[in-house]
């Protein structure tokens, strides 16, 4: 007989491991263990979602006739790591092989490949994770063809491969990308649909109680936990998004509004990333909504691009570039992460608002992550490894394969431009245009050098000046440097920015 280890982010009945094994002979192992809960101090809701979804999934497998050995979390248990649990089970079963679907994170995959076969004295069979549209190998082959690995070109190939929104080998609508239609500000109309909330069953209640008790040192509010923890409820969340939000997803994708935590976003990443939903079923549902006239092309194309394009692309970059990727720091950024990333205690209204929604739900939408908390860390020169650890800890959807390229590459430009052709740096002006945060702020978004000036303003120009040698030659940044050259109060802007960097924790 063989063991099949199913991880907390592999909770899908189509998983390669389950297709490979035989339910009449083999044994499925699942374990809640300290090491996976604490390699970063995950948000309480992330641990609760994973534990509860794991327990529900194990119950479903059992009902289907699988033999399951499941370890529930106990802090004092001598089973600290996944491998400890397998070793314990091996004393009873004498399995001749361990079957696993490739892990999402390099950390664990490397540990398995380098030591488990020896330490467990069984053969380890590692299967391709076929939940993605693009295999790791396919991405590597694609990457060989290009000098710069732009998402847009990858996305076009994926559109051709999958035939999403294609007609006669051409993109429907005559364009691959409708992003220029997707930058509207939102001022209350159309109204936001109510957020779907899921009632807690006994498993959720038990898990929430456990997490509250055992992980009190971790960040986040657990009382507001409302995530689906079963596939059935995750499918309801998908239906709800397609019926109520997708139509406006494109138009307001970049908008940020004080007090509106979710806008028209799907909130599906936690389910996609832990396995409750598959990317194909989500893209199929969105495409069907377009063909049925339920949602416009700019919304559906924009949404499918996030999953078929960005999500697959970041995974490809991760496996192409690890393990060296995580050490990159092209801009030599060394500033320690300000304390308010953990406490939320800052006078900057935009930042405080993003921290609030992050702690409250383990969620912030893409533009909040990229253009507020990410942008600030970039401008302030925060050490990439500290900010990467923060993003990996605080979001319910965070796994290193998707978090690292987004943070280190896209937000921090620490990979030297693999992910982004120019840094996603912006002054307060952008935040003022795309949100109403500044109306709630004690800082003045219109000035640069006063004691109450928006910190993003001087930090933006300081960043550009500091990294001139890298960015001045970039044709996409010509205008920025033209403006810097023309700036009359440049010296005082730089002086003010330096002052802010020295008192970053007080902003
Ligand atoms: P929607 O806006 O509804 O988008 C639909 C889906 O597209 C998402 O569910 C997600 O699966 C996918 N998607 C969209 N953008 C991206 C992207 N850039 N990379 C990968 N998938 C994408 N996403 C994660 O899933 N996990 C992370 O740990 C994570 N960390 C991030 C860190 C930073 C600094 C930034 C800038 C982005 C990060 N993202 C991450 C990408 C993105 O912010 C989230 O996927 C998105 O906010 C999830 O919310 P949603 O499901 O409502 O997304
Ligand atoms: C994120 C996470 C957490 C918090 N806990 C567990 C766990 O107790 N058991 C488990 O199997 N998986 C957990 N996970 C998900 C793993 O960290 C994830 O599978 C690896 O990082 C590989 O992607
Ligand atoms: Fe953020 Fe500056 Fe606007 Fe305040 S003024 S909300 S710090 S952009």
Three-state secondary structure readout of 22-68:
CCCCCEEEEECCHHHHHCCCCCHHHHHHHHHHHHHHHHHHHHCCCEE
Nearest CA to ligand 3 atom 3: 438
Q: In angstroms, rounded to a whole number, what is the distance separating the alpha carbons of residues 464 and 67?
A: 59
Q: In angstroms, rounded to a whole number, what is the distance separating the alpha carbons of residues 360 and 44?
A: 10
* Residue 7 CA, closest ligand 2 atom number: 11
* Pocket test residue of 340, 441, 461 for ligand 3, highest count of atoms within 8 A of CB: 441
* Residue 109 CA, closest ligand 2 atom number: 22
Tokens 């119950």 correspond to 59
Q: In angstroms, rounded to a whole number, what is the distance separating the alpha carbons of residues 299 and 174?
A: 15
Q: Which long-range contacts (CB under 8 A, 24 or more apart) does 282-287 make?
A: 282/238, 282/307, 283/162, 283/164, 283/307, 283/308, 285/238, 285/239, 285/242, 286/242, 286/246, 287/164, 287/165
- CA of 336 from ligand 3 middle (Å) equals 21
Instruction: Please answer whether residues 36 and 82 qualify as being in contact, where contact means their C-beta atoms are separated by less than 8 angstroms.
Output: yes
Q: In angstroms, rounded to a whole number, what is the distance separating the alpha carbons of residues 277 and 9?
A: 11
C-alpha count within 13 angstroms, C-beta hemisphere, residue 213? 9
Find the Cα–Cα–Cα–Cα dihedral 72, 76, 78, 80, rounded to 10°.
Answer: 60
Residue 191 neighbours by CB distance under 10 Å: 7
Residue 147: its pLDDT value, please? 85
Q: What angle do CA 293, 295, 298 make, to 5 degrees?
A: 120
- CA of 454 from ligand 3 middle (Å) equals 5
pLDDT tens for the chain, 507 residues: list them. 999 999 999 999 999 999 999 999 999 999 999 999 999 999 999 999 999 999 999 999 999 999 999 999 999 999 999 999 999 999 999 999 999 999 999 999 999 999 999 999 999 999 999 999 999 999 999 999 988 899 999 999 999 999 999 999 999 999 999 887 667 888 888 999 888 989 999 999 999 999 999 999 999 999 999 999 999 999 999 999 999 999 998 889 889 999 999 999 999 999 999 999 999 999 999 999 999 999 999 999 999 999 999 999 999 999 999 999 999 999 999 999 999 999 999 999 999 999 999 999 999 999 999 999 999 999 999 999 999 999 999 999 999 999 999 999 999 999 999 999 999 999 999 999 999 999 999 999 999 999 999 999 999 999 999 999 999 999 999 999 999 999 999 999 999 999 999 999 999
| Ligand sitting nearest the alpha carbon of 397 | 1
Those residues whose C-beta lies under 8 Å from the C-beta of residue 392, and which sit 6 or more positions away, are: 40, 398, 399, 400, 403, 404, 407
DSSP 126: E
DSSP 221: -
Pocket of ligand 1 (CB under 6 A): 265-269, 272-273, 303, 306-307, 310-311, 314, 365-366, 369-370, 374, 391, 395, 397-398, 402-403, 406-407, 410-411
Residue 130 main-chain phi, psi, to 5 deg: -90, 20
Instruction: Please answer whether residues 11 and 28 qualify as being in contact, where contact means their C-beta atoms are separated by less than 8 angstroms.
Output: no
* Pocket test residue of 262, 266, 366 for ligand 1, highest count of atoms within 8 A of CB: 366
**Nearest-CA neighbor of 477 among 433, 424, 429?**
424
Nearest CA to ligand 2 atom 15: 8
- Note the helical H segments in 308-383: 312-321, 340-343, 349-361, 366-367, 375-379
Q: What angle do CA 349, 353, 354 make, to 5 degrees?
A: 120
- CA of 37 from ligand 2 middle (Å) equals 7
SS3 assignment, position 74: coil
Residue 100 neighbours by CB distance under 10 Å: 26
| Ligand sitting nearest the alpha carbon of 375 | 1
Cα separation values, 177 from 250, 301, 474, Å? 11, 7, 23
Residue 181: its pLDDT value, please? 65
* Residue 369 CA, closest ligand 1 atom number: 36
* Residue 370 CA, closest ligand 1 atom number: 36
Structure tokens at 189: 């109309």
The distance of Cα 57 from the centroid of its chain, to the nearest Å, equals 23
* Residue 457 CA, closest ligand 3 atom number: 2
DSSP 300: H
| Ligand sitting nearest the alpha carbon of 457 | 3
Instruction: Please answer whether residues 279 and 273 qualify as being in contact, where contact means their C-beta atoms are separated by less than 8 angstroms.
Output: no
| Ligand sitting nearest the alpha carbon of 398 | 1
CA 250, 252, 254, 260 torsion: positive or negative?
Answer: negative
Structure tokens at 214: 């055992």
* Pocket test residue of 154, 195, 402 for ligand 1, highest count of atoms within 8 A of CB: 402
Residue 354: its pLDDT value, please? 98
Nearest CA to ligand 1 atom 10: 269
CB crowding 226-262: b at 16 or more within 10 Å, else e:
ebbbbbebbbebbebbbeebbbbbbbbbbbbbeebbb
Residue 353 neighbours by CB distance under 10 Å: 25
Helix (H) or strand (E) holding 4: strand 2-5
Structure tokens at 110: 């490397």
The distance of Cα 254 from the centroid of its chain, to the nearest Å, equals 16
* Residue 428 CA, closest ligand 3 atom number: 8
- CA of 312 from ligand 1 middle (Å) equals 11
Q: In angstroms, rounded to a whole number, what is the distance separating the alpha carbons of residues 86 and 357?
A: 38
Q: In angstroms, rounded to a whole number, what is the distance separating the alpha carbons of residues 275 and 507?
A: 39
DSSP 476: G
- CA of 423 from ligand 1 middle (Å) equals 18
Pocket of ligand 2 (CB under 6 A): 7-9, 31-33, 36-37, 42, 47, 50, 103-105, 108, 399
Nearest CA to ligand 3 atom 6: 438
Nearest-Å Rg of the Cα atoms of the chain is 23
Model pTM?
Answer: 0.96
Pocket of ligand 3 (CB under 6 A): 348-350, 428, 431-432, 437-438, 441, 443, 445, 454-456
Those residues whose C-beta lies under 8 Å from the C-beta of residue 100, and which sit 6 or more positions away, are: 4, 5, 7, 17, 112, 124, 125, 126, 127
Q: What angle do CA 439, 443, 445 make, to 5 degrees?
A: 70
Q: In angstroms, rounded to a whole number, what is the distance separating the alpha carbons of residues 68 and 81?
A: 18
- CA of 254 from ligand 3 middle (Å) equals 17
């Amino acid at each position: 007989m063989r063991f099949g280890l199913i991880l907390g982010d592999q909770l899908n009945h189509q998983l390669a491991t389950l297709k490979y094994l035989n339910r009449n002979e083999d044994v499925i192992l699942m374990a809640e263990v300290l090491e996976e809960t604490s390699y970063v101090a995950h948000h309480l809701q992330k641990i609760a979602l994973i534990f509860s979804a794991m327990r529900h999934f194990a119950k479903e497998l059992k009902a289907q006739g699988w033999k399951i050995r499941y370890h529930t979390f106990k802090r004092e248990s001598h089973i600290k790591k996944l491998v400890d649990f397998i070793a314990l089970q091996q004393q009873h079963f004498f399995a001749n092989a361990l079957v696993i679907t490739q892990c999402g994170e390099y950390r664990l995959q490397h540990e398995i490949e380098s030591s488990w076969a020896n330490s467990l004295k069984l053969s380890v069979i590692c299967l391709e994770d076929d939940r993605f549209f693009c295999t790791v190998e396919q991405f590597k082959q694609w990457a060989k063809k290009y000098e710069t690995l732009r998402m847009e070109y990858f996305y076009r190939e994926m559109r051709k491969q999958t035939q999403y929104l294609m007609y006669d080998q051409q993109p429907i609508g005559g364009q691959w990308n409708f992003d220029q239609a997707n930058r509207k500000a939102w001022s209350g109309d159309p109204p936001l649909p109510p957020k779907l909330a899921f009632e807690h069953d006994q498993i959720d209640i038990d898990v929430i109680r456990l997490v509250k008790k055992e992980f009190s040192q971790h960040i986040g509010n657990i009382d507001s936990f409302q995530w689906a923890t079963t596939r059935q409820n995750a499918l309801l969340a998908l239906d709800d998004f397609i019926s109520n939000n997708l139509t406006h997803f494109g138009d307001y994708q970049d908008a940020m509004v004080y007090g509106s935590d979710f806008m028209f976003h799907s909130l599906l990443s936690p389910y996609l990333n832990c396995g409750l939903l598959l990317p194909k079923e989500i893209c199929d549902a969105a495409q069907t909504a377009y063909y049925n006239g339920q949602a416009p092309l700019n919304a559906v194309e924009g949404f499918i691009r996030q999953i078929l394009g960005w999500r697959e692309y970041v995974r490809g970059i991760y496996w192409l570039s690890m393990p060296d990727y995580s050490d990159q720091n092209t801009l030599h950024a060394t500033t320690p992460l300000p304390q308010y990333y953990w406490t939320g205690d800052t006078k900057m209204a935009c930042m405080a608002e993003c921290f609030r929604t992050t702690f409250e739900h383990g969620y912030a939408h893409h533009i909040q992550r990229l253009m507020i908390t990410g942008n600030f860390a970039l401008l302030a020169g925060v050490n990439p490894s500290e900010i990467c650890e923060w993003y990996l800890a605080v979001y319910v959807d965070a796994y290193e394969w998707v978090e690292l390229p987004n943070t280190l590459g896209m937000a921090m430009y620490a990979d030297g431009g693999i992910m982004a052709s120019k840094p996603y740096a912006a002054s307060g002006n952008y935040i003022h245009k795309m949100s109403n945060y500044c109306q709630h702020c004690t800082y003045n978004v219109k000035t640069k050098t006063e004691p109450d000036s928006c910190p993003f303003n001087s930090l933006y120009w300081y960043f550009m000046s500091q990294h001139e040698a890298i960015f001045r030659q970039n044709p996409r940044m010509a205008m920025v440097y033209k403006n810097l050259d023309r700036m009359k109060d440049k010296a005082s802007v730089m002086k003010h920015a330096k002052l802010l960097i020295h008192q970053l924790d007080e902003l």
